[in-house]
Amino acid sequence: MKYHYSSAILVMAGALLTLNAVAQDDTPEKVPTRNDSTSALSAFNPAVSAIVDMYYYNENSKEGLSHMKEEMPGFAGHSHGEDEHDHGEKENGFNLNHVELTLSAEVDNYFKALANVAISEDGAEIEEAWAETTGLPWGFQAKAGKLFSNFGYINAQHSHMWDFSDQPLIYELSLGSHGLNDKGVQLSWLAPTPVYLLFGAEVFQGDNEMMYVQKENDDLPKNDGPRLGVGWVKLAPLQIDNHELLLGLFGASGSHQEVHEEGGATNSFDGINWFAGADAVYKFDSGKAYDQGDATVQAEYFYRNKELDQENGDEELTGAQDGYYIQGTYGILPRWRGGLRWEQVGLTNQEEEEGIKKEFSDSWRATAMVDLRPSEFSQVRFQVSNGDYDLGDKGVENVWEVYVQLTFSIGAHDAHSF
């Protein structure tokens, strides 16, 4: 959901003024009766934070890397939604990614809630707005609203939590710059086992801009929501001393539509898009001050497949692509980290339409970064990347990218999860 930029500023100002007035008005008759006084205080004084993400960026492609990614065979072309956003588009020079405003609180003895709005120069968008249970029995927990899917490892993270300035290619090309972020419900169950074992199931409306698109076309059916289901499992088999290992499996399936216009003819397709994959994260805590000597290694593999039928015709459109990334970070000095990332997309990369099967090549990118964290509220990062991008008939183009990124937070901010 997008708003005019000035309207978003007015909403923010009004919300902050209201919160300030409530916080200063402590008359007894305005304080509700609650069993938990801490919850009452939290309800009237929710944690409010603003995170600012800005960067200098430069790349040397001929037509612009954002445009190139839209032309990569197999991954782009016809999958974008009607309201396609250019969240990931960057221009050479200075960029403001967004200002992220977050309010969170314990609602009562049964729920906690969070609302998050990302404000850019073009407008504002609700990234998250959900309530989550806090007291369900037998290890169950439920969440409802607009939320990030908890599949894999990086999807549920906001961009300021990433170890690199940009997201892995396989996520960007498959799910867009916001990943899988949608309206729906999530149910998880923590198994009563000696090791951490968490199962999750999610049902979403199915409005992703890349893999789960609904076209406004008279030839296509209007599929009612919810249109997307996701399942995942997370296992931590190793939690010994300073070592932690988290493993995961995931899969999803949902409704998807595409419209192809070629040679004056229009072909409309409707069917299923699904993906599956695995993730692994290892962390070592050195115990030294300011994260010196700490190490993290993480990797994810993602495979996607579409099976669509032509409306008012007997043709099929199928396709399969995959990709992975592996990355590591290390605390080289107090408050200083270094990191390396290697990634490939399109090891499997094929499409078949009207009986014609096409095979495409893969692309790769290598990235190095160094960041400084003067405190838990600020970070400066230097990053450089080099990659080969397959553009089909246009050949392969090698591109260099450079980031100098500044991220800082204002106000209370929840600790990041594992």
How far is Cα 300 from Cα 169, in angstroms, rounded to an integer?
11
- Tens digits of residue pLDDT in 192-235: 999 999 999 999 999 998 999 998 887 899 999 899 999 999 99
Mean pLDDT computed over 306-328: 92
Query: What single letter denotes the amino acid at residue 388?
Result: D
Quote the pLDDT of residue 409.
93
Q: What residues contact residue 162 under an 8 Å CB cut-off, 6+ apart?
A: 154
pLDDT band at 2 (very low <50, low <70, confident <90, very high): very low
Quote the mean pLDDT of the chain.
Answer: 87
- Tens digits of residue pLDDT in 73-101: 998 755 555 444 444 578 899 999 989 99
- Tens digits of residue pLDDT in 389-404: 999 889 999 999 999 9
Domains of the chain in sequence order: 2-411 (2.40.160.10)
pLDDT band at 187 (very low <50, low <70, confident <90, very high): very high
Quote the pLDDT of residue 8.
40
Whether residue 179 has pLDDT greater than 70:
yes
pTM value? 0.85
Quote the pLDDT of residue 414.
65
Query: What single letter denotes the amino acid at residue 128?
Result: E
Whether residue 353 has pLDDT greater than 90:
no
How far is the CA of 169 from the CAs of 158, 173, 174, 205, in angstroms?
16, 6, 8, 25
Quote the pLDDT of residue 26.
44
Quote the pLDDT of residue 413.
65
Mean pLDDT computed over 274-291: 96
